[in-house]
Each structure stands twice: as structure tokens, then as C-alpha cells.
Amino acid sequence: MISFPPGEYGTLKVPEATIIRLSLYSRFLQQLIEKGVTMVMSAEIASGTGVNAAQVRKDLAYFGEFGLRGVGYYVKELYRNVMTILGLNREWNVVVIGAGNLGQALSLYRGFSSRGFKIAAVFDTDDSKIGQKLHDLEILPISKLLDFADKNPFEVGVITVPAKFAQKVADLLVLSKVKAILNFAPVVIAVPDEIDVRNVDLTVNLELLTFKMGLKNPQHTP
């Protein structure tokens, strides 16, 4: 559950799964806008995103009354509301630390810019990488991070360095006044409470598949 401070949505607790689905809905709504669709029913959002209609209504109801009973939702209005809920009604500056394969893949990932995430810089310690270009991004030396942050404040730091360097990088990001960290290093990092950390474990996605396959193919189980 993600609980958030008293504010626009009171002190509601919202399941993380709801936020993930809101992200799905917003992509579907964006497609509808591109097609010129103006109204949509929850059943259509449901079938377009593979979620059941009751869940769609429940997810949206956490944040208020957006639809008209029997008529549905205004697509553009709902899209704008969902994007605002997701914090995507603005641009976020993102810095990637670690220009290995994963760091490069993330830095060049087109999906980010379309959702308002701007990769502001990529840092590494490897002299052979520093100065290289990833499209129009130059790989900068990690020693320049604090200086860069001073001149170009950023909100999100993405850690893609090996586990043993992750805490050191996290400490530098804290000094850089980062607000949130996405950590791909397979290690728990310690940061002050006010900084949100999300650990991404790429293996977990495979394990959600093998959980199901293991059940379907019990003959493989020793």
C-alpha cells in the first residue's frame, strides 16, 4: 500500500497495484485521444487494458467521481486527471548513474520521454566510457555529479551500478538533493526517510512466470 500525506486525497491508502493499473489506463486513454474518441465507458477501459470493469471503477473511485453514471467518462478529462494523480502533469529530470548495458538501455529508452521523464545526464566512473555519447547525452564522470546537481537540479536518480557501489552512489544522490531513487542494484540501500526508493529486481518478473509454469508442469518438480 502506498499511503500519502494529508492533502488533496485525504489520508487514503492506495494499493500499489491500483497505481500500476492507473498507468495502464492512462496509456489506453492516450490512444483513445489519438483516435479522436471523446467518451469512454469503464467496460471499454476494462477490455482495452485487460482489467475487469468493477476494478476500473474501484481504482478511479479512490480519487473522486470522474464519470457520469450510464454515460461514462470524458476521455480527455479522465486522462488529465489520471496523469495528475500519477504526478505526470509535469516534466521530471532523471539522472542515471552507471553507464553499463542497463544504464545505457535506460538512458536511451524512448518510453521515458513520452511520459515526461527527461534523462538529464548519465554518469560513470569508467574512464573508457566518460566522454562517449549516448545519442545526445554525454557520459560524465561521477566526480562531476554534485556540481551538475547544483546547476541542473534533478528529482530522480537511477542506480545501475554493481551492488558493491550502490550505497556510495546513493549517498552521492542524497547530497545531490534527489527526491526519489530507482535502484536496479540487487542490494538494499539506506537513505533518509523523505527520499522514496524503489528497488527493481528484473529477476522477479521471471519468477512470476515460473511460479505459474511450475504449477502447470509439476512433472518437472523433483
- Residue 190 binding its own copies, by CB under 8 A: no
Q: Cα–Cα distance between 152 and 71 in angstroms, integer?
A: 46
- Residue 64 binding its own copies, by CB under 8 A: no
Cell of 174: 542524497
Sole binder of its own copies in the list 10, 34, 69, 208 (CB under 8 A):
208
Sole binder of its own copies in the list 23, 30, 125, 167 (CB under 8 A):
23
CB of 38 to its own copies, least distance (A): 23
CB of 67 to its own copies, least distance (A): 21
Cell of 33: 485521444
- Residue 198 binding its own copies, by CB under 8 A: yes
| C-beta closer to its own copies: residue 140 or 178 | 178
CB of 200 to its own copies, least distance (A): 5
Residues 6+ apart with CB under 8 A from 163: 185, 186, 187
Beta strand ranges found along 22-85 (DSSP E):
39-40, 73-74
CB of 82 to its own copies, least distance (A): 11
Name the DSSP class of 182: E
Within 128-187, the residues that bind its own copies by CB under 8 A are 155-156, 179-180, 182, 186
Parallel, antiparallel or unpaired: strands 73-74 and 39-40: antiparallel
- Alpha-carbon distances of 211 from 139, 174, 207, 218, 221, rounded to whole Å: 39, 37, 6, 11, 12
Concatenated DSSP letters of 128-162 = TTTT-EETTEEEEEGGGHHHHHHHS--SEEEE-S-
Within 74-133, the residues that bind its own copies by CB under 8 A are 84-90, 92, 94, 100-102, 104-106, 108-109, 111-112, 115, 117
Contacting residues toward its own copies, per CB under 8 A:
2, 4-5, 7-9, 16-17, 19-20, 22-23, 50, 84-90, 92, 94, 100-102, 104-106, 108-109, 111-112, 115, 117, 155-156, 179-180, 182, 186, 188, 196, 198, 200-218, 220-222
